[in-house]
Amino acid sequence: MSGTLVLVRHGQSEWNLKNLFTGWRDPDLTELGVEEAKAGGKALAEYGIKFDVAFTSDLVRAQRTCQMVLDAVGQSSLETIRDQALNERDYGDLSGLNKDDARAKWGEEQVHIWRRSYDVPPPGGESLRDTGARVWPYYLTEILPRVLAGEKLLVAAHGNSLRSLVMVLDRLTKEQVLNLNLATGVPMVYKLKADSTVASKEVLGDMSAAH
């Protein structure tokens, strides 16, 4: 058996709370976001995993989530690699706009297409496919080889950068990935086979509590 890959989406950010398109902008976590990150860390501590290295994005909300998870599992000083390849997708001209204001300006249908389509980017920004085009090579060159060598890796990143990864791991079609929503602060634990396919997947945390 190869190693373990743990994916965690950052906790709620200040702009999530304000209903703003965030993308590559860099707001911090809210108090709820901090609690979500700590809860994810607690779930991993109870799971009993120890990591060999952590990866996160170039944005503070993911970095703080990563650090709080590492604090919770007793690995505060673990080597952590930051790279913008793992950043949230770039919302371009929508960044910083309230989602309701964007709908008023461009129309409900157009904004929905930008948000939920696979390959239609917002003006000046990235589609989910564009996001995957930078996440997938980074995963293949920097992350996957270490998992296949038997290491245990933490990746704390963003809704769309992680959706593009889960799309590959779970073998989702471009239609299926549109309906994929990742809960904030909830770890997904993948164990991989030697051929890089998924041997098992566990989602840590009581998802029913969110309903």
Query: Which residue segments constitute the domains of the chain, with CATH numbers given?
Result: 4-12+30-88+128-206 (3.40.50.1240)
Q: Is 125 annotated as a binding residue?
A: no
Q: What percent of the chain has pLDDT over 90?
A: 93
Q: Could you tell me if 54 and 63 are in contact, meaning their C-beta atoms sit under 8 angstroms apart?
A: no
Count, residues in the chain: 211
- In whole angstroms, give the CA distance from residue 160 to residue 100: 20
190: Cβ–Cβ under 8 A, 6 or more apart, which residues? Answer: 4, 5, 6, 7, 169, 198, 200, 201
**Residue 172 pLDDT:** 96
Q: Is 191 annotated as a binding residue?
A: no
Q: Which two tokens stand for residue 199?
A: 């041997």
- In whole angstroms, give the CA distance from residue 77 to residue 57: 17
Q: Is 126 annotated as a binding residue?
A: no
β pairing state of 188-192 and 4-9: antiparallel
pLDDT tens for each residue of 156-211: 999 999 999 999 999 999 999 989 999 999 999 999 999 999 999 999 975 543 32
- In whole angstroms, give the CA distance from residue 4 to residue 199: 10
Q: Is 103 annotated as a binding residue?
A: no
Question: Which pLDDT band holds residue 122 (cuts at 50, 70, 90)?
Answer: very high
**Residue 211 pLDDT:** 29
Question: Which pLDDT band holds residue 1 (cuts at 50, 70, 90)?
Answer: low
- In whole angstroms, give the CA distance from residue 157 to residue 206: 21
Q: Is 10 annotated as a binding residue?
A: yes
The residues carrying an active-site annotation are 10, 88
Q: Is 89 annotated as a binding residue?
A: yes
Residue 56, strand partner residues: 82, 156
Query: Which has the closest alpha carbon to 65: 166, 206, 177, 162?
Result: 162
Inter-CA distances, 85 with 16, 19, 111, 134, 207, Å = 21, 24, 25, 6, 28
